[in-house]
Each structure stands twice: as structure tokens, then as C-alpha cells.
């Protein structure tokens, strides 16, 4: 039976790469979504079906899920990919921006999940793949609010996996490291706009911004979005998907290092990385 895959946030980056990859999979019908369908018109040419979807709007979310269910009975697989980073220090970052980020990264993911689950339970099967981040396992300075949103995704995914298992629904968390998409530019922009240049955290913000720019440019530390798309495809199609997929060697090394060092030693490691920020 053909599985209908609904992917959020496919206008760029990981979502776009995933839609393109899955559209080539003969056993899947892919629904690519974005706020503006004109931004993903080319995905229709690649074989995906295009829907308007804003994960911060209830009516939009309901309409997208209902469109898939009208044709397939249920969403076979949901890829909760939509998200972005709101960067800045805890003291200085505008909380209106933080709320908007949580509406997309956390509440949008949660609501999309709520909407597809009744159909999946009725079918007795389904896949949910949440795109988290290595940033849900460790924290860098000037990124606390973004990391908090990804820690929330970790918690929701762990609860969801246990709750839905009796209904034949498999839940996986994909945790990418640094991926060469527009994410880095967006995050750097929010960081630059989060505080006055001469504020108390100016030095930290400058170092954090440079670290971010250098890391995303590094081919040793980052990877293209197609790397994540391949993992998402595996999580959807393999009979026994993993609970977690950490993506990129650098992310695996950092997550392992954070676990081994503990909080105090990892802080010392960060102080070395962020020299000049004090």
C-alpha cells in the first residue's frame, strides 16, 4: 500500500532535500508543504504534491491534514521538519521572538502530531519523524532559547514514542548537527539583532557569531541537507527504525563528548572555544 508522507517546511534546506529524495521513492506519495506554495512549485515538477501549510495557523494545519486523509484515509508518515533558530543571550533576547520560535519549533510540531494521530490509530500503523537537533543534547552560549525548543522536541518525542507504540505507530527523532542550509544565516541574523553592539554581552555575541559562521562553512564540521534527507528516508521506510539518529560525524562526537565530560568540564571546553568573549 502506498504511504502518504506529509512534510512540513519544504521551501528550503532539509525539508526541500527530503521532499526531493522521497518523491523518487516508488512506494511513497509525498506531500510537500510551505506557507507559500509558489516557493515549492518546482517540487511538484519533481513528483511531489504541493500543499499550503503554516504550522502556526490552526486552520492551515487542519486543511493540510484533511487533504491528505481525504485521498489516503490517513497520513502514513509525518515529518515534522519546520523550524528555525532565534539566537541571543537569555537576558537580551526579545521574548516575542522566542514565542514565535516556540510556536513553530514546538507547538506547531505538537499540533501537527495531534492532528495525524487519530487517522494513524485507526489504520493501526504510521510513522512520525521529528527533526530535532544535536542542540537538543547540548547547549552553546547565545543559543539558549533555540536549544530550549529542541530540548522540548526531545521530551515530546520520548513521550510520544511510548504512548503510540501500542497502536502500531513508530516514532523517531533525527538530530542533525551543522547542516549547510539557510539556517545558519537566519540564526546569525537574529543573533546580530538581539542586542546593542556596545551591550554587556557584545564580546560574547561577536565570538558566537564568528564561531557560527566558521562552523557552517567548514566541510569538516557540517554536511549538506541531503545527508539528513537520506536518514529521514531510512526512518520512514525501514521495518525497525531507530529511536534516535544523530547526523554528521561532528555531531556524534560533540554529543558523546558532552555526555562524557559532564556539565562542569563541558563548560571548561566552551570557555576555551569562546576565548575573547569575556
H-helix segments, the chain: 13-23, 41-45, 58-72, 95-102, 109-123, 144-164, 183-192, 202-217, 225-237, 249-273
| Helix or strand (DSSP H, E) at 169 | strand 169-176
Separation of alpha carbons 16 and 261, rounded Å: 36
Instruction: Say which of 31, 87, 146, 201 is annotated catalytic.
Output: 146
User: Hunting for cell 486543511 — which residue is that?
Assistant: 63
Q: Which of 10, 72, 46 is nearest to 228 (CA)?
A: 10
Separation of alpha carbons 13 and 192, rounded Å: 22
- 269 annotated active-site: no
Q: Is 57 exposed, middle or buried (0-12, 13-18, 19+ CB in 10 A)?
A: middle
Separation of alpha carbons 50 and 134, rounded Å: 29
Tell me the catalytic residues.
146
Amino acid at each position: 500500500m502506498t504511504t502518504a508522507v506529509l512534510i512540513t517546511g519544504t521551501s528550503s534546506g532539509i525539508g526541500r532535500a527530503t521532499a526531493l529524495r522521497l518523491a523518487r521513492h516508488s512506494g511513497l506519495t509525498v506531500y510537500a508543504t510551505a506557507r507559500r506554495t509558489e516557493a515549492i512549485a518546482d517540487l511538484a515538477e519533481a513528483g511531489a504534491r504541493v500543499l499550503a501549510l503554516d504550522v502556526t495557523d490552526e486552520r492551515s494545519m487542519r486543511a493540510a491534514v484533511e487533504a491528505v486523509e481525504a485521498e489516503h484515509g490517513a497520513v502514513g508518515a509525518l515529518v515534522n521538519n519546520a523550524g528555525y533558530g532565534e539566537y541571543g543571550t537569555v537576558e537580551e533576547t526579545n521574548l516575542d521572538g522566542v514565542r514565535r520560535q516556540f510556536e513553530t519549533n514546538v507547538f506547531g510540531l505538537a499540533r501537527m502530531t495531534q492532528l495525524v494521530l487519530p487517522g494513524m490509530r485507526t489504520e493501526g500503523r504510521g510513522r512520525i519523524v521529528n527533526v530535532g537537533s544535536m542542540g537538543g543534547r547540548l547547549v552553546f552560549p547565545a543559543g539558549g532559547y533555540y536549544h530550549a525548543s529542541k530540548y522540548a522536541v526531545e521530551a515530546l518525542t520520548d513521550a510520544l514514542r511510548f504512548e503510540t507504540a501500542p497502536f502500531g505507530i513508530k516514532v523517531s527523532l533525527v538530530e542533525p548537527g551543522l547542516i549547510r542550509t539557510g539556517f545558519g544565516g537566519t540564526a546569525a541574523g537574529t543573533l546580530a539583532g538581539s542586542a546593542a553592539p556596545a551591550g554587556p554581552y557584545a564580546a560574547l555575541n561577536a565570538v558566537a557569531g564568528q564561531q557560527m559562521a566558521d562552523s557552517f562553512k567548514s566541510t569538516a564540521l557540517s554536511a549538506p541537507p541531503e545527508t539528513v534527507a537520506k536518514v529521514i528516508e531510512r526512518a520512514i521506510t525501514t521495518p525497525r527504525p531507530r529511536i534516535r539518529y544523530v547526523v554528521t560525524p561532528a555531531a556524534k562526537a560533540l554529543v558523546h563528548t558532552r555526555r562524557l565530560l559532564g556539565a562542569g568540564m563541558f563548560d571548561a571546553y566552551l570557555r576555551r572555544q569562546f576565548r575573547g568573549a569575556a
